[in-house]
Amino acid sequence: MLFQFLPATFVTLLLLAAPAAAFTHPIGIHGRYFIDTVTRQPFFLKGIDYQPGGSSAVTESIDPLSDPNTCARDIILFQELNINTIRVYSINPDLDHDVCMSMLASAGIYLVLDVNSPLQGQHMNRYEPWTSYNEDYLEHVFKAIEQFSGYNNTLGFFAGNEIVNDKKSARNSPPFIKNLIKDMKLYIDAHSPRSIPVGYSAADDLNFRVSLSKYLECTDGSFVDSVDFYGVNTYQWCGEQTFYTSGYDALTLDYEDYVRPVFFSEFGCNAISPRVFEEVSSIFGDEMIGVFSGGLVYEYSQEPNNYGLVEIDDKGAVRLMKDFDYLKVQYTSTEIPTGERIAELYNRGGKGLKLGAQALPECEEEYDNLEITLMVDDSISSKLLKNGVDAKRGRFVTIDDNDLYTTYQIYNTDGTSFDRKYVRVTHLLDEITEYEAIRLKQLSNDSKYP
């Protein structure tokens, strides 16, 4: 039963009674919240962005989720940070990701995956998207969906990251982004074993961020053309600030009426170092949980832009940085909001809190600083949407004990050896039967649309 149909008092009782389970259940969407599709509890992202080696680390033979030894090394540290979600910016869908995704699920960790790749023909040209929006590009996107739809811990897909970031891209890209979202959702509906949310990750530029979010949220009545969630990349909380001095109050107000989940797809200003991440308590605090569904710290590994939590040497050894220790303190001491907490705030008239699904807004003729009149040829995707793509669907596999151990060295910030070299199994891999898959797909669909 979906709680938009229930009175507020019964909603409170339902959320209070919802059981916890040691399974990695699929995540769906109900109104402006992510929810566990089995327990019906709200889900808040507490995680990090993960792309060790940057975009150049994705090749024909390797990506961040293809090497079990590397995955074990990093999942050990994910568990140390007490996170529940990672974002990966690019993968090669022709590689095998079963072991790494199974290990992540066994650790209770979900994945938000960008479907674009730095490899040729696998990303959208922001300035001339009509040159890149072709069948080869969509085949790559659909192959990523095909493979990762087989894992319960695939939380969602990003159709793009900061594609609109200046005046020229704002003139040319928005209709192509919206059409890609539609094509991805149509492919998932036709070929995936369950519904998986599709979103977009936006640059924190006030010229475009809010207007683009409204354009991607609106619908022509089909619902499939509307984004399922919206990510904001923001770095405005620097050092010791507050909810008000950082501007988080205005940021929260920007999305108070958004009808889909919003979260920080990147956060963690590095203007002051080391980063102490005091914004974490606000992101998961009462002032924000009615609007934002958590966030992801940028980023796991130290790259040339100096946002890393760990340093990885050329032999694969990892050394923790001070930022890691500070984030660990914040993430470990901050409680994830529960259904009980949300219901209490709702019953007190908490700001921005909406438990039921809200109607999607109808599309307007224009949006500030965006050009939305360019037409996209729907025939480009028609063949692939009908026939599917030739890709191996991922599946959970039995993990050998050796897979849980890493041969790489891990060092603390003081240079001493980290005291654990294995992944702790905290969650069971939930094998979904064909009947349950049909039921979960229906539940997800019911959750997604008002």
Residues ≥6 apart with Cβ < 8 Å to 450: 4, 31, 259, 357, 358, 359, 360
Average confidence (pLDDT) over 74-100? 97
- Give tens-digit pLDDT for 171-181: 999 999 999 99
What is the pLDDT, as a whole number, of residue 142? Answer: 98
Across residues 396-423, what is the average pLDDT? 94
Q: Say which range, 145-154, 191-200, 331-340, has the weakest mean pLDDT.
A: 331-340
Give every CB contact of residue 244 below 8 A, 6+ residues apart in sequence.
none
With bands split at pLDDT 50, 70 and 90, how would you rate the model's confidence at 31?
Answer: confident
Give which of 304, 293, 305 is closest to 268, Cα–Cα. 305
- Mean predicted lDDT score pLDDT of the chain: 89
Task: Return d(Cα 283, Cα 267) in angstroms, integer.
Answer: 10
How far is 313 from 319, CA to CA, in rounded Å? 8
Q: Is the pLDDT of residue 450 over 60?
A: no
Q: What is the pLDDT of residue 223?
A: 83
Domain spans, the chain: 29-358+367-387
pLDDT score recorded for residue 71: 97
Identify the CA nearest to 307 among candidates 329, 274, 283, 338. Answer: 274
Give the bridge partners for 311, in sequence order. 319
Long-range contacts, stretch 303-306, CB < 8 angstroms, 24+ apart: 303/53, 303/54, 304/54, 306/270, 306/273
- Residue 15 scores a pLDDT above 60: no
Among 3.20.20.80, 3.40.50.720, 3.40.50.2000, 3.40.50.2300, name the CATH number for the domain at 29-358+367-387. 3.20.20.80
**pLDDT tens per residue across span 181-190:** 999 999 999 9
Q: How far apart are CA 408 and CA 414, in angstroms?
A: 18
**Active-site annotation holds for 266:** yes
List residues bridging with 156 in a β-sheet: 112
Tens digit of each residue's pLDDT (9 = 90 or more) over 259-313: 999 999 999 999 999 999 999 999 999 999 999 999 999 999 999 999 999 999 9
Phi, then psi, of 270 in degrees rounded to 5: -110, 20
Res 351 pLDDT > 90: no
Marked catalytic residue, from 146, 162, 217, 279: 162
Q: Which residues are CB-neighbours of 164 under 8 A, at least 6 positions away?
A: 126, 170, 173, 174, 177, 202, 203, 208, 212, 370
> Which has more confidence, 289 or 429?
289
What pLDDT sits at residue 342?
83
What's residue 384's pLDDT? 97
pTM above 0.95, yes or no: no
Minimal CA–CA distance to 67: which of 96, 107, 47? 96
Residue 1 has pLDDT above 90, yes or no: no
Report the relative pairing of strands 318-320 and 310-312 from DSSP bridges: antiparallel
Residue 208 scores a pLDDT above 60 = yes
Nearest to 40 by CA among 450, 446, 449: 446
Q: Known catalytic residue: 162?
A: yes
42-46, 56-60, 80-84, 270-274: the lowest-pLDDT one: 56-60
pLDDT band at 204 (very low <50, low <70, confident <90, very high): confident
- DSSP code of 219? B
The backbone torsions φ and ψ at residue 342, rounded to the nearest 5 degrees and listed phi first, read -65, -40
Looking up tokens 């900061």, which residue turns up? 162
Average pLDDT over residues 409-424: 96
Q: Read off the tokens for 353.
A: 């809190």
Tens digit of each residue's pLDDT (9 = 90 or more) over 379-406: 999 999 999 999 999 999 998 888 999 9
Q: What is the pLDDT of residue 431?
A: 55
> Residue 313's pLDDT is what?
96
Q: What mean pLDDT comes out for the span 344-366?
A: 75
For residues 104-117, one letter each, b for 16 or more C-beta atoms within 10 angstroms of the residue's C-beta and e for the rest, the string is bbbbbbbbbbbbbb
Partners of 46 in the β-ladder: 295
User: What is the pLDDT, as a whole number, of residue 50?
Assistant: 97
Of the residues 139, 146, 217, 266, only one is catalytic, namely 266
